[in-house]
Amino acid sequence: MEPRILILDGNQRASLAAVRSLGSKGLWVAVGESAPTSMAAVSRYCSQKVTYSDPYRYPRAFFDDILNQISALGITFLLPITEATTYVLLLYRNEIPDHVVLPFPDTEAVDQLANKNKLFKMAAESAVPIPETVFCENSEQGLNALGAIGDFPVVLKPFKSKILDKGRILSSQVIVAKSRDEARSALSSHESFDFPFTIQSFIYGTGQGIFALFNHGEPVCYFAHRRLREKPPGGGVSVLCESAPVDERLKSSAETLLRKAKWHGVAMVEFRVSADGTGYLMEVNPRFWGSLQLAIDSGIDFPYWLYLASTGRPVPKAVQEHRRVRWLLGDLDRLYLVLKAPSTSYSTGAKLLEIIRFLKPGLRTRHEVNRLSDLRPFWFELKQYLGALRN
């Protein structure tokens, strides 16, 4: 059977990176999204675009639409990019035809990593550093636990960022509470704390991630990057980043967890590294990440290698090169935020310096979306960006 790949979540930059990776190898690739078209769907490497129901509002209808597309297009490989589409596919995976590859281990293994309450318990048992943690089943337990907590701030962390509940997907958020009153208010007002969550000590330090591909419990490759600019500037989405050496201590912690979960597929393991060099586990995301294009440009072709590993084909040996990648419109947003910031945050001189840095991102910096060999995704993104400004 000729391989036919369906990549979901076409408006994600990681989806575009995956389409370019797989399509450039001569593989037939379709792109799906809940909108009529998407950024990845207009890529020259996309052979077919499809539309499906909103997975957030109508999870079951979304899945039925995917089943219909599998039948109509002869799909043999399904690649969800976001947590929402991933969790819905995993929920109903026993209904997916046997000939279709979904590149994840069994659902229990996914839940072992994606469920933060289970993850932190496994990490503690495996001697992987975690913040001081109180495990709670609901807001009532959390409110009771707050009385015994002496040091603030604390981090209130729902067990999942996307929670499937009563035929819908509930989006949750991590909350940093600076006082007991703030924590009480958050627990009482956010629906996501009706589900399991943790209360953790706040770790002062820098965020670092390890990106990995595993093949049925065995590591294939690792990757790491360094964030050079973020949106918003105080910490957020990376808009300029470069490849970086893999920290061996963080790699060891990531490998311990992924081996124990008998992981198969890609994973992003996030840590917060304190001043003494200890890497405290923050979370594991069993999916692709926003700066995926940087890894591909650096010689670590995660989408294609995931396809090879999941279809029983040999994976090439990793040879990593140093690269830098910029998300232009994200960087433009960041510059706007800097320029409108008060002088107490950025002086006039600092703002001028940021303008110069924006105009001169550095030698050998590649653009993530706008590429001469495949320009239509950038024109699509720019049109959406300008439309949002008008609104």
Rama region for 74: left / alpha / beta (φ>0; ψ in -120 to 50; rest): left
Beta carbons of 209 and 226 less than 8 angstroms apart: no
Class of domain 132-201: alpha beta
For residues 379 and 296, give the distance between their C-alpha atoms in angstroms, rounded to a whole number: 22
CATH 3.30.1490.20 location in the chain: 132-201
Beta carbons of 56 and 84 less than 8 angstroms apart: yes
Six token digits for residue 298 = 């650096």
Among 203, 189, 190, 123, which residue's Cα sits nearest to residue 158? 190
Specify the pTM: 0.94
Burial class for 194, CB neighbours closer than 10 Å (0-12, 13-18, 19+): middle
Q: Give residues with Cβ within 8 angstroms of 4, minimum separation 6.
A: 28, 30, 73, 74, 75, 76, 77
Tokens 């600019």 -> residue: 229
In order along its 391 residues, the chain shows pLDDT tens digits of 789 999 999 999 999 999 999 999 999 999 999 999 999 999 999 999 999 999 999 999 999 999 999 999 999 999 999 999 999 999 999 999 999 999 999 988 999 999 999 999 999 999 999 999 999 999 999 999 998 898 999 999 999 999 988 788 999 999 999 999 999 999 999 999 999 999 999 999 999 999 999 999 999 999 999 999 999 998 889 999 999 999 999 999 999 999 999 999 999 999 999 999 999 999 999 999 999 999 999 999 999 999 999 999 999 998 899 999 999 999 999 999 999 999 989 999 999 999 999 998 877 899 999 999 999 999 999 999 999 888 7
Class of domain 105-131+203-285+292-367: alpha beta
For residues 186 and 179, give the distance between their C-alpha atoms in angstroms, rounded to a whole number: 11
**CATH topology classification for 4-104:** Rossmann fold (3.40.50)
Q: Is the dihedral of CA 263, 296, 101, 220 positive or negative?
A: negative
CATH 3.30.470.20 location in the chain: 105-131+203-285+292-367
CATH 3.40.50.20 location in the chain: 4-104
Burial class for 110, CB neighbours closer than 10 Å (0-12, 13-18, 19+): buried
For residues 209 and 272, give the distance between their C-alpha atoms in angstroms, rounded to a whole number: 9
